[in-house]
Amino acid sequence: MTPVTIDDIRAAAMRIAPYVHRTPIMSSQLINTEAGCEIFFKCENLQKVGAFKARGAHNAVLKLSPEQLAKGVATHSSGNHAAALALAASHFRVPAYIVMPENAPASKVAAVRAYSGEITFCEATQAARESTLEALCKRTGASFIPPYDHPDVIAGQGTTALEIAEQMALAPDVLLAPVGGGGLLAGCAVASKALLPDTLVIGAEPAGADDALRSFHSGQWQPQPAPDTVADGLRTALGQLNFYLIRDKVDDILSADDATIIRAMRLVWTRMKLVVEPSAAVGLAVVLSHRQRFAGKRVSIVFSGGNVDIDTLPW
Amino acid sequence: MTPVTIDDIRAAAMRIAPYVHRTPIMSSQLINTEAGCEIFFKCENLQKVGAFKARGAHNAVLKLSPEQLAKGVATHSSGNHAAALALAASHFRVPAYIVMPENAPASKVAAVRAYSGEITFCEATQAARESTLEALCKRTGASFIPPYDHPDVIAGQGTTALEIAEQMALAPDVLLAPVGGGGLLAGCAVASKALLPDTLVIGAEPAGADDALRSFHSGQWQPQPAPDTVADGLRTALGQLNFYLIRDKVDDILSADDATIIRAMRLVWTRMKLVVEPSAAVGLAVVLSHRQRFAGKRVSIVFSGGNVDIDTLPW
């Protein structure tokens, strides 16, 4: 039995519709010329909280029972998932407990606070995060909503590809989504294989954090020892559940180096006038790095988010 | 007789439709909360060549006779109008002669070249620009398309407000457009007064280049001696034709200082994930500077463009 089906994704889409944006698909003739193919960018940088994470967080929160919901939700994250979970909880006026490392950037702390998330700081180690979260859930009764390796979160992220299938007049030849923890890619692959059977699904990963690529090609889940990439949203290790879904449903994973990711990000900022974070530019960077694979094709690329510190840009 | 009527603007809209984008209107709940009103941003930063200038340039080029068109078009500009005119000419494979000062920024030169504009450099004085352009038009027979003070250009820019009237389910209480040379504000005022009779039309100007504000309030065209503002697209002097249209059709002109313009620009980048140039942020800056004037109202603001050098940001 598949842990996430197209029916789960359709149900998620109905569930989250009142709370998230149906984001537009945008194109740029200048970028098409530069890339040698026709690209349709799904703009999740324009999503609530500035990232696709709003989809999975809302779906997971909305699937809780009233009794569970009343006690609130919790997670450990310093990124977009934390802000997304805080926003989802705020609709129901229940607490979102967010465990963050004490060295988290001020901008991330501010984002979670802006959505009324209750932050508990801990030491900047994985062990401290997990033990702090566990104690917090035990004390409050809050439900832990993990950032990516959970069926409800994956189904929520998969609604991105459901919308792509609905919004595109002609099916794309390729759907490209970035892969970090793997929730977006896994969810999109399930939706795409059900709705766009002739579309290749390809994961886009930074060369400096390519555990999904190595796992996919070896057929065995590989750890991510020391990620080193400008794409801060994709430094996380591939989730184990996501690994199995990706192994079954995804056609390939390709990587791009940081120089090309930054070049792609600059192209989007200057040509499309859209603020995308480095992780969101990895799909375009993969196209620019593997031109022959995409030449002349119709390519749908997910811009995963737009949360970037505009005072410290990578150029 | 009015030099630009709603019929001119309707005709311009039909004429330019195949060549320009119908840009979206976007909103941000976070910015609405910050501003204390409901704002609908017309995203001309997502327009062809990254600015509303594509509208006026296309309309003026399309109104030329075949004989005129064959000899090409010319202008003196170092900004968005030059790129817009080059793009418009390129559709018909006729030359666009652009006179630019020899100290023009490399990014502006590159933008004009990207659309195959033929650049003639001259000394960085108004006299040198005008004499170089005149000699060039005499030699080539090209038609001079001025950047703002021309009925066909004004009618083209007015299509922005025509689209706002069509796209908004409920009429806005206020329409705010930035004013530099005045073509956008004049054209939008003509369209708005015809189609949205209950909507106030207000110009937004940087305090450091407030000739339109002074002209409007004194009822006499005032020169712009030494503009000093971060909003580089609005340093130009108000056109005389635009002055008369604005005096007749616009309800008020308000200004904002550079610090507020930069704050507004940062808000748009971080909250809306849209790249806007400083000039495009002046409308929001005016709302933030005159909160009581806009409190609780439905406000439509034109984001005039998104062409900014991302290596030298004003923060």
Question: What letter represents residue A264's amino acid?
Answer: A
H-run or E-run covering A299: strand A298-303
Higher pLDDT, B106 or B207: B207
C-alpha dihedral over A253, A259, A264, A270, to 10 degrees? 170
User: Which of A273, A279, A307, A312 best probes binding to B when mutated, by most B CB atoms within 10 angstroms?
Assistant: A273
Asked whether the predicted pLDDT for residue B19 surpasses 70, the reply is: yes
How many alpha carbons lie under 13 Å from residue B111 in its C-beta half-sphere?
25
B89 token code pair: 């000419």
B310: chain A residues, CB-CB within 8 Å: 266, 269-270, 313, 315
Mean pLDDT of A82-101: 96
Question: For the whole model, what pTM was predicted?
Answer: 0.94
Does the CA dihedral B109-B186-B272-A58 come out positive or negative?
A: negative
Q: What is the share, in percent, of chain B residues with pLDDT greater than 90?
A: 90
Q: Chain A residues contacting B, CB < 8 Å? A: 24, 26, 30, 45-46, 50, 114, 266, 269-270, 272-276, 306, 310-311, 313, 315
CA dist., res. B156 & res. B9, Å (int): 6
Residues B166 and B232 occupy one common structural domain: yes
Domain boundary among A85, A120, A144: A144
Strand partners, A197: none
Instruction: Give me the DSSP letters along A58-104.
Output: HHHHHTS-HHHHHT-EEEE-SSHHHHHHHHHHHTTT--EEEEEETT-
Closest CA of chain B from A226, distance in Å:
30
A313: chain B residues, CB-CB within 8 Å: 310
Residues A195 and A162 occupy one common structural domain: yes
Q: Where are the beta strands (DSSP E) in A138-207?
A: 143-144, 174-178, 200-206
Residues A128 and A217 occupy one common structural domain: no
The model's pLDDT over A20-47, given as tens digits with 9 standing for 90+, comes to 999 999 999 999 999 999 999 999 999 9
The model's pLDDT over A248-262, given as tens digits with 9 standing for 90+, comes to 999 999 999 999 999
B57 token code pair: 């340039």
Asked whether the predicted pLDDT for residue B1 surpasses 70, the reply is: no
A218 token code pair: 């070896």
Q: What residue has token string 């793997």?
A: A182
Residues A209 and A284 occupy one common structural domain: yes
Residue pair A180/A306 in contact by the 8 Å Cβ criterion: no
- The ipTM, to two decimals, is 0.92
B311: chain A residues, CB-CB within 8 Å: 315
Active site residues of A: 53, 304
Closest-CA residue of chain A to B107:
A270
Would the CB atoms of B266 and A26 count as touching at under 8 Å? no
Contacts of B166 (CB under 8 A, 6+ apart): none
Would the CB atoms of B310 and A269 count as touching at under 8 Å? yes
Q: Determine if residue A121 is left, alpha or beta; phi over 0 gives left, psi from -120 to 50 gives alpha, anything else beta.
A: beta
Q: Give the model's pLDDT for residue A78.
A: 72
Question: What letter represents residue B29's amino acid?
Answer: Q
Asked whether the predicted pLDDT for residue B105 surpasses 90, the reply is: no
On whether residue A63 sits in a domain, the answer given is yes
What total of structural domains would you count in chain B?
2
Residues B39 and B60 occupy one common structural domain: no
On whether residue B1 sits in a domain, the answer given is no
Residue pair A32/A271 in contact by the 8 Å Cβ criterion: no
Q: Give the model's pLDDT for residue A104.
A: 83
Mean pLDDT of B53-58: 98
Would the CB atoms of A273 and B46 count as touching at under 8 Å? yes
Residues B208 and B251 occupy one common structural domain: yes
Domain boundary among A81, A116, A144: A144
Asked whether the predicted pLDDT for residue B17 surpasses 70, the reply is: yes
B192 token code pair: 């708005």
A125 token code pair: 């180690």
On whether residue B21 sits in a domain, the answer given is yes
Would the CB atoms of A273 and B274 count as touching at under 8 Å? yes
SS3 A142: coil
CA dist., res. A58 & res. A55, Å (int): 5
Whole domain around residue B79: which residue ranges? 54-144
Q: Give the model's pLDDT for residue B246.
A: 97
Residues B83 and B173 occupy one common structural domain: no
Q: Give the model's pLDDT for residue B77.
A: 82
Residues A135 and A246 occupy one common structural domain: no
Q: What is the average pLDDT value for chain B, to the nearest integer?
A: 96
Residues B268 and B295 occupy one common structural domain: yes
Of B50, B114, B313, the CB nearest to A273: B50
Q: How confident is the model at residue A105 (pLDDT cuts 50, 70, 90)?
A: confident
Q: How confident is the model at residue A1 (pLDDT cuts 50, 70, 90)?
A: low
Q: Chain B residues contacting A, CB < 8 Å? A: 24, 26, 30, 45-46, 50, 114, 266, 269-270, 272-276, 306, 310-311, 313, 315
SS3 B181: coil
On whether residue A136 sits in a domain, the answer given is yes
Domain boundary among A123, A144, A165: A144
Q: Give the model's pLDDT for residue B110.
A: 87
Q: Give the model's pLDDT for residue B157.
A: 98
Asked whether the predicted pLDDT for residue B125 surpasses 90, the reply is: no
Higher pLDDT, B125 or A215: A215
Would the CB atoms of A273 and B315 count as touching at under 8 Å? no
Give the 3-state secondary structure of B216-254: HHHCCCCCCCCCCCCCHHHCCCCCHHHHHHHHHHCCEEE
Q: What is the share, in percent, of chain A residues with pLDDT greater than 70?
A: 100
SS3 B97: strand
Higher pLDDT, B107 or B292: B292
Q: Where are the beta strands (DSSP E) in B165-234?
A: 174-178, 200-206
Q: What is the average pLDDT value for chain A, to the nearest integer?
A: 96
Mean pLDDT of B277-302: 98
Instruction: Tell me the CATH number at A80.
Output: 3.40.50.1100
